[in-house]
C-alpha cells in the first residue's frame, strides 16, 4: 500500500480498520483536556473500561459472601485461575494445561529456574542476549551464584556486531553450537525491550535442543504482541507479565508456560505449595505434596483474586478479538508510523534512526527511534503536548502503536507534533 502523510489518508485507514471500535473500550489519559496519543502500551497498557466491573464483582462477592466466596462467588475464587487456561493458551499457542497464572514475572522466572536450570559438572552455562532487561540479568546472575558458579564463566552473552543495533540470528545459532556440550540453558527475551527486535523462537529453541540444552523465554514484550506457538515450537518454559500489551494493570500477575512433556517428570525440582497440590485432595491437608499434572502444579499460594480480575477482563478481550486480527493491524499501523517518521525526517534538519529492524518478520508493535541531534528536551516537548512515549538512555524514544487502541490518525497527528517540536 502507498501511504500518504495527510490527515484525510489516516482517517481513511481508520475507517477501514475493523478494530477501530475497540479504541472506545479503553480509557485514555488527557493532557490539556485532550486525549493523549499513547505509545507506551509496551510498558503499561491502557485500562479497558470493562475491567472495573470485574474488580467490582470480586469486591461485592467479598462484601456479601466473605469466606464463602471461595466456593459460592459468581466466579468462585478457589479455581478462578482456571478461567485463564483456555483464552491464555490461545494467546501463547499452548494447550490449556500448559499455561497458568501466578506471582510476577521475575519471581516466576526464578521459580522456573528451580525446575529447569540443573547444572552438571560439564553442562552448566546459560546463554542469553547481551543487554537483556536488567531484571533478567540480575535473575540469571543470582541463579548461577546460587549453584556455586561464577557469572563471568557460567553466563555467555550474545553480542551485537560492532556498529549494529540488533543481534543476528546466525550469531545466536553459532554461539549455541560453540558452547555446545557446556550449554545447560538458553534464556532470551522473545522481543528485546530496547530495540523491539523479535527473535526467532522456533529456530533458536530447536538449536538449543540440538545442543542438548533447555530453552526458556522471557515473553514480557511478546505476550499479546506477537504470534506465539509455544507448544509446537517445543519451548520448555516461558513466563510473561500481563501489564504491557495485555492491559491488566500496574505490576500485575504473570503467566507461565511449561511444556506438557515436563508435567509428569517427578525428577524436576520445584518449590511447592498447597495451591500446586492435587486439586481434588487439596483440602484434605495431607502431608505429602502431589502436584497437579500441568502448569498449575507450579502454583504455590492461593491466588490474589483482586489482581487476577483485571487480567481476566483482558484475556477475555483478547479471546474475543483474536491475535490474528491484532497482528494484521499491528503490522499495518507500525508500517504507517515508520512511513510518517521517514516523511518528517525529510522535512526537518535532524535525523531519526529507527533502530528496530525494518523487516516486519523481526519486529512487532514497537519502533525504537534514536534521535540524532535531538535530545531529552524533544521527549519532554512530546510529553507536554500529549504524546506519551518513553525515554531510554542515551537517546532513544520507544513508540508502540498498540493495535488495540491506537489509531492511524494518532500516527499522523504525532508526526505533526514531532515536526513542530523540532522546527518550532
Ligand X SMILES: Cc1ncc(COP(=O)(O)O)c(C=O)c1O
Per the annotation, binding residues for pyridoxal 5'-phosphate are: 105-106, 133-136, 218, 221, 243, 274, 302
Q: Which residue is nearest to ligand X (CB)?
A: 106
Confirm if 360 and 327 have CB atoms less than 8 A apart.
no
Which of 22, 80, 193, 245 lies at the binding interface for ligand X (CB under 6 A)?
193
136 binds ligand X per the rule CB under 6 A: yes
Binding track over 114-133 against ligand X, x by CB under 6 A: -------------------x
| 135 lines the binding site for ligand X (CB under 6 A) | yes
Instruction: Kindly state the smallest distance separating residue 341's Cβ from ligand X, in Å.
Output: 23
CA distances from residue 135 to 34, 105, 107, 109, 408 in whole angstroms, order as listed: 35, 10, 10, 10, 34
Considering only CA atoms, which of 196, 141, 215, 179 is closest in space to residue 338? 196
Query: Which residue matches cell numbers 511447592?
Result: 272
DSSP for residue 121: S
Question: Nearer to ligand X by C-beta: 133 or 408?
Answer: 133
Determine if 101 is a binding residue for ligand X (CB under 6 A).
no
Shortest Cβ 400–ligand X spacing (Å): 12
The least distance separating ligand X from the CB of residue 287, rounded to whole angstroms, comes to: 32
Provide the minimum distance between the beta carbon of 327 and ligand X in the complex, in angstroms, as a whole number. Answer: 20
Choose between 221 and 263: whose C-beta lies nearer to ligand X: 221
| Interface size with ligand X, residues (CB under 6 A) | 12
Q: List the interface residues with ligand X, window 206-225 (CB under 6 A).
A: 218, 220-221
Euclidean distance between CA atoms 193 and 186, whole angstroms: 18
Q: If you compute the radius of gyration of the chain from its CA atoms, what whole number of angstroms results?
A: 23
- Please, which residue, 251 or 373, has the CB nearer to ligand X? 251
Cis amide bond preceding 394, omega within 30 = yes
SS3 219: coil
Can residue 137 be called a binding residue for ligand X (CB under 6 A)?
Answer: no
The distance in angstroms from the start CA to the end CA of the chain is 31
Instruction: Determine phi and psi for 37, rounding to 5 degrees.
Output: -95, 115
Nearer to ligand X among residue 69 and residue 189 (C-beta) = 189
Least separation in angstroms between residue 65's CB and ligand X is: 31
Please work out, in degrees rounded to the nearest 5, the angle formed at the alpha carbon of residue 137 by the alpha carbons of 136 and 140. Answer: 80
Phi, psi of 39, rounded to the nearest 5 degrees:
-110, 10
List of residues contacting ligand X (CB under 6 A): 104-106, 133, 135-136, 189, 193, 218, 220-221, 241
Amino acid at each position: 500500500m502507498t501511504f500518504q502523510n495527510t490527515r484525510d489518508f489516516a482517517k481513511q485507514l481508520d475507517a477501514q480498520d475493523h478494530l477501530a471500535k475497540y479504541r472506545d473500550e479503553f480509557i485514555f489519559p488527557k493532557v490539556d483536556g485532550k486525549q493523549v496519543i499513547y505509545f507506551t502500551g509496551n510498558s503499561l497498557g491502557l485500562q479497558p473500561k470493562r475491567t472495573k466491573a470485574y474488580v467490582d464483582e470480586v469486591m461485592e462477592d467479598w462484601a456479601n459472601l466473605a469466606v464463602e466466596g471461595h466456593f459460592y462467588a459468581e466466579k468462585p475464587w478457589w479455581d478462578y485461575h482456571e478461567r485463564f487456561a483456555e483464552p491464555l493458551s490461545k494467546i501463547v499457542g499452548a494447550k490449556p494445561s500448559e499455561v497458568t497464572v501466578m506471582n510476577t514475572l521475575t519471581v516466576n522466572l526464578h521459580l522456573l529456574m528451580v525446575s529447569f536450570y540443573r547444572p552438571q559438572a560439564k553442562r552448566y552455562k546459560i546463554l542469553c542476549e547481551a543487554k537483556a532487561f536488567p531484571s533478567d540479568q540480575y535473575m540469571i546472575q543470582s541463579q548461577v551464584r546460587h549453584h556455586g558458579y561464577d557469572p563471568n564463566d557460567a553466563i555467555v552473552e550474545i553480542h551485537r556486531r560492532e556498529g549494529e543495533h540488533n543481534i543476528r540470528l546466525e550469531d545466536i545459532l553459532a554461539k549455541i553450537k560453540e558452547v555446545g556440550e557446556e550449554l545447560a540453558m538458553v534464556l532470551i527475551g522473545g522481543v528485546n525491550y530496547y530495540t523491539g527486535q523479535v527473535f526467532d523462537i522456533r529456530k533458536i529453541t530447536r538449536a538449543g535442543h540440538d545442543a542438548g540444552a533447555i530453552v526458556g523465554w522471557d515473553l514480557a514484550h511478546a505476550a499479546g504482541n506477537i504470534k506465539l506457538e509455544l507448544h509446537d515450537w517445543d519451548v520448555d518454559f516461558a513466563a510473561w507479565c500481563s501489564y504491557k500489551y495485555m492491559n491488566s494493570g500496574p505490576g500485575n500477575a504473570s503467566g507461565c508456560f511449561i511444556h506438557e512433556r515436563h508435567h509428569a517428570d517427578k525428577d524436576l525440582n520445584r518449590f511447592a505449595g498447597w495451591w500446586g497440590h492435587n486439586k481434588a485432595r487439596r483440602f484434605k491437608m495431607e502431608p505429602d505434596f502431589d502436584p497437579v499434572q500441568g502448569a498449575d502444579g507450579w502454583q504455590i499460594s492461593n491466588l490474589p483474586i483482586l489482581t487476577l480480575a483485571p487480567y481476566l477482563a483482558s484475556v477475555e478481550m483478547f479471546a474475543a478479538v483474536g491475535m490474528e486480527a491484532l497482528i494484521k493491524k499491528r503490522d499495518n499501523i507500525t508500517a504507517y508510523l515508520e512511513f510518517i517518521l521517514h516523511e518528517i525526517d525529510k522535512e526537518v534538519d535532524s535525523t531519526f534512526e529507527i533502530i528496530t529492524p525494518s523487516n516486519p518478520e523481526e519486529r512487532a508493535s514497537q519502533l525504537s527511534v534514536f534521535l540524532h541531534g535531538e535530545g531529552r528536551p524533544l521527549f519532554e516537548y512530546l510529553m507536554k503536548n500529549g504524546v506519551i512515549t518513553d525515554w531510554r538512555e542515551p537517546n532513544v524514544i520507544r513508540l508502540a502503536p498498540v493495535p488495540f487502541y491506537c489509531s492511524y490518525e494518532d500516527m499522523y497527528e504525532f508526526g505533526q507534533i514531532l515536526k513542530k517540536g523540532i522546527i518550532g
